[in-house]
Amino acid sequence: MRNGKCIWIPFSPAWYKNEVNLILFRQDELGKPIPKRDERAIHLIKVLHKTAGDTFDAGLLNGPLGQGRITAIEPDGALLVDLDLNIPPPSRHPLRVAVGFPRPIQLRRLLRDLSSLGVSYIDLLVTELGEKSYQDTTLLTDGGAEQALIEGAIQSRDTSLPVIKTYRSLKAWLAAQPWAAEQPWLAAQSGGSEVPATITAPANCSQPGPIAVPASPAGIASTTTPAMLLLAPDNVRPQGSLADLPSFPGAAAVLVIGSERGWSDAERDQLEKAGFSRLSMGSRALRTETASVAAVILALEKIGALR
């Protein structure tokens, strides 16, 4: 589905062709044998060389982690498994990433990497300078997107997946402000109300500008750790450098990254009016997927998620 609605696509186990860190199960698969031709059975037997009595790392999709054990191998090759799942999955980071639709082959890699990095939400935007046909990728309807998200999750030993949404334009995304309505950590940190406020970019930035954050709770000065950073990495007339942004441990962040052709001047105006700070990541022109991963890592460091 599109225009701000959630996307959920059929389950596919094809990511087990290479060695993985976790074997995932859906709720409706619990207590059932794993068929011989299921990629997970093939992975356990052919790649990990498991046999009856052996254990393996397992998890429930969007649920707990733990250990699995092969209790028996049926005459038809199906695996009977017992699961002991009692470890909470790692929390996803309070980071939302919006990105202009890249090429489908890049989108698959990007979804995998953002999932592995622990991003909570991924918004895909149609941009003025981006190729409009990219939004019609079948990756969002044939199971490919979920497959990429799960590849990233199991790489990082996680069972949870980011939520993907699509928007018809940057303007529509800014008008919807999904970061204000859908992030549970926001209400916990800001007291629930979203009133924009600003702090000043670091003095060593080439063009100091505001870093948009929600207003501090009553009685707390605005110089305290902000609840959220609104960041738009952009090398065209930036307000400063993302690397020079001070660290705000405990804050949340929203990143918005343009397509390979970047933002139009009108879109840059929209971002600034919405309170986003346009900050450089250096002088090199980067692919959308490279810029997104680099920006995510920098943002995670700024909110203290890598410590």
Q: What domains appear along the chain, each with residue ranges and CATH number?
A: 14-87 (2.40.240.20), 95-302 (3.40.1280.10)
pLDDT of residue 181: 77
Q: What single letter denotes the amino acid at residue 5? A: K
Q: What single letter denotes the amino acid at residue 247? A: S
Judge contact between 119 and 157, C-beta under 8 A: no
DSSP state of 45: I
- Count the neighbouring beta carbons within 10 Å of the beta carbon of residue 55: 14
Decide the pairing of beta strands 23-25 and 55-60.
Answer: parallel
Spatial distance between the Cα atoms of 284 and 281, rounded to a whole number of angstroms: 8
Kind plus residue range of the DSSP H or E element containing 288: helix 288-302
pLDDT-based confidence at residue 122 (cuts at 50, 70, 90): very high
Q: Residue range 126-155: average pLDDT?
A: 92
Spatial distance between the Cα atoms of 203 and 96, rounded to a whole number of angstroms: 27
Could you tell me the pTM of the whole model?
0.80
- Count the neighbouring beta carbons within 10 Å of the beta carbon of residue 45: 18
268 SS3 class: helix
Q: What is the pLDDT of residues 164-193, one digit of tens each?
A: 999 999 999 999 999 987 654 443 333 333
